Amino acid sequence: MEKIKVGILGATGMVGQNYIKLLKNHPWFEISYLAASENSANKTYEQAVRGRWQMDTPLEDKIKKIIVGNVSDISKAKGKCRFVFSAFEISDKEQIRKIENEYAKNDIPVVSNASAHRKTKDVPMLIPEINPEHLDIIKIQQKNNGWNKGFVAVKPNCSLQSYLTAVYALMQKGYKVKKMFISTLQALSGAGYPGVASLDICDNVLPFISGEEEKSEQEPLKILGEIKDNKFENFQGLEISAHCNRVPVVDGHLACVSLLFGDKKPKKQEIKKIWKNFKALPQKLDLPFAPKQPIIYNKEENRPQPRKDRDNDKGMALTVGRLRQCNIFDIRFSALSHNTIRGAAGGGILNAELLVKKGYIK
């Protein structure tokens, strides 16, 4: 079977580099196009990332030689790739939306990591284990915009992926979650490069991450929501409060979670059983990047830990631990996932795999 040719927008940034690292030897996808800002355009990728390649694996020769395109010049992308990963790290959301739309308009689907389109009412925000049925919106999106084969699909913030699937697994079994307190200890790589200055985090932690608490409190409501009247309607009845902290850890976002259930409350053993047995569509379809067991419960009293658990199932599994009664709500636990794999490039690849398998990318 011939591999599907893919492009990466924002290829020189940290997320773009992670896509390049993770797509090496992908069974379905093959990188054929790399685009970045004007500064990098027309250089080889090797030149463009000189002194900025942050991955712990060397750059492959065939990637080094690719001539970087200008993201704004779509003519270079057409015919070169069947779809693109959008890995922009710039802060101008309006600009990102414009570029992503332009690719979609030109029949190039966009699988995006950027936050620009997360609130767009006809753009699906996917966690394939939770809301694959949200893909139904794509036809509406195409119709709304007058697009033919192109569309935009996004993934949510990296931080909430550390725990939301574990919470969803319980909801899916009929245990309504009414309130959720979250405190996070988030890794440095979540801030991109150069990101956090070392003087700000050596012998220190930071009690603030710009915009992160808002995303953590709002995005789950769309993910858990449903399509009504041709647009997404937020999930009702779940209140979320998040404290987000930065800690001196390279990769892996850890969260402390407390849950209040509705009237029907699961016992601890039942919860562990639900997590252990949880499988969803990506597992059933046996997608290449799908973790075999999406939720791993580690019974040691001091786990999960970022350095020791982030790489579980190639960084795509969520690890939970310390399930215990909560003095105020019902239960509490700690949860962790790899923010640049599950929470970013790996999650984007899984989204793309689902889109291919479901026939949205042809």
Residue positions annotated with a catalytic role: 158, 253
301 binds a second copy (CB under 8 A): yes
254 binds a second copy (CB under 8 A): yes
Give CB contacts under 8 A, 24+ apart, made by 296-301: 296/320, 297/272, 297/321, 297/323
268-277 and 164-172 helices cross at what angle (nearest 10)? 100
Among 280, 214, 256, 250, CA closest to 340: 250
Q: What's the distance, Cα to Cα, between the start and end of the chain in Å?
A: 14
Sequence-distant (≥ 6) Cβ neighbours of residue 250 within 8 angstroms: 187, 188, 189, 307
61 binds a second copy (CB under 8 A): no
197 binds a second copy (CB under 8 A): yes
Per CB under 8 A, the segment of 16-24, 54-62, 76-84, 122-130 that binds a second copy is 54-62
Among 153, 63, 198, 178, CA closest to 358: 153
Q: Which two tokens stand for residue 264?
A: 């029907």
Cα distances from 13 to residues 56, 151, 191, 195, in angstroms, run 15, 23, 11, 11
Count the site residues for a second copy by CB under 8 A.
61
Q: Which two tokens stand for residue 216?
A: 């953590």
Q: Which of 40, 112, 131, 334 binds a second copy (CB under 8 A)?
A: 334
239 binds a second copy (CB under 8 A): yes
Cβ proximity to a second copy: between 70 and 245 the closer is 245
221 binds a second copy (CB under 8 A): no
Q: Which of 176, 231, 311, 358 binds a second copy (CB under 8 A)?
A: 311
Q: Which of 146, 174, 202, 284 binds a second copy (CB under 8 A)?
A: 202
Task: Tell which positions 12-51 bind a second copy, by CB under 8 A.
Answer: 51
237 binds a second copy (CB under 8 A): no
179 binds a second copy (CB under 8 A): yes
Interface with a second copy (CB under 8 A): 51, 54-58, 179, 181, 183, 185, 188-189, 193-208, 217, 239-241, 243, 245, 247-250, 254, 256, 258, 300-309, 311-312, 321-322, 326-329, 332, 334
